[in-house]
Homo-oligomer: A and B are copies of this chain.
Amino acid sequence: MRADAARNLSSVLRTGARLLAEDPSTSMAAIAAAAGVDRTTVHRRFANREALLRAVFQAKLDSAERVLDEARLTEAPVPVALHRYLEGIIPVAREWPVDTRRMMQKDPEASARREAQSARLSAFIQRACDEGYLRADIDAAWARAVLDALVDSIAHRFPAVDAPQAADLVADAFLRGLGVA
């Protein structure tokens, strides 16, 4: 039963993330139905709708944090770290399509975690600038935003492209652009 409980809970989280990404006002009833459990069961596991949202965000933050750790953003060579980050973060964006930036204003703890992760990535971009991998006239904040946008785009608009190829496409567009040399 513990096993079942954990499976259903995770099923509710994944299903909820998917539905909430399409429509942030999806009802608990709809999520429960899509996850194949009763509405009251969801309410027993998550006190509030807000608690369910928190759990979804936490799951996404956990996955993203693992990716950031394993990419070794501060130690590995910039091109290697970039590719490892992309190949890891794209599946995370796909599995948890919820937009953490919009939906977490009310959760200071999750917000702080997100900020910390964001800072790690920004520091990496800054290092890429400093080590000469990015053009000198490029603003680091803009570079950061471009990378995020490319990741979201390949993750959600091209779900059929597998992670390694998606990472290649993003890194290529990010560094070289799409125009002719």
Give A contacts to B, CB under 8 Å.
Answer: 22-25, 102, 132-135, 138, 141-143, 145-146, 148-150, 152-154, 157-158, 169, 172-181
- A174: which B residues are within 8 A, CB to CB? 177-179
- Bound-complex Cα distance A25 to B24 (A): 8
Query: How many copies make up the complex?
Result: 2
- Are A176 and B179 touching (Cβ within 8 A)? yes
- Min CB distance A114 to B, Å, is 15
Name A101's closest neighbour in chain B (CB-CB).
B157
- Are A145 and B158 touching (Cβ within 8 A)? yes
- The one of B24, B146, B172 in contact with A173, judged by C-beta atoms closer than 8 angstroms, is B146
- Bound-complex Cα distance A154 to B158 (A): 21
Q: Provided the pairs A145-B158, A158-B145 are in contact, do residues A138 and B178 lie with their beta carbons within 8 angstroms?
A: yes
The contact sample of 6 A-B pairs, CB cut-off 8 A, is A135-B180, A146-B173, A174-B179, A175-B179, A176-B176, A176-B177
Name A172's closest neighbour in chain B (CB-CB).
B177
Q: Provided the pairs A133-B179, A134-B179 are in contact, do residues A153 and B158 lie with their beta carbons within 8 angstroms?
A: no
- Bound-complex Cα distance A66 to B49 (A): 42
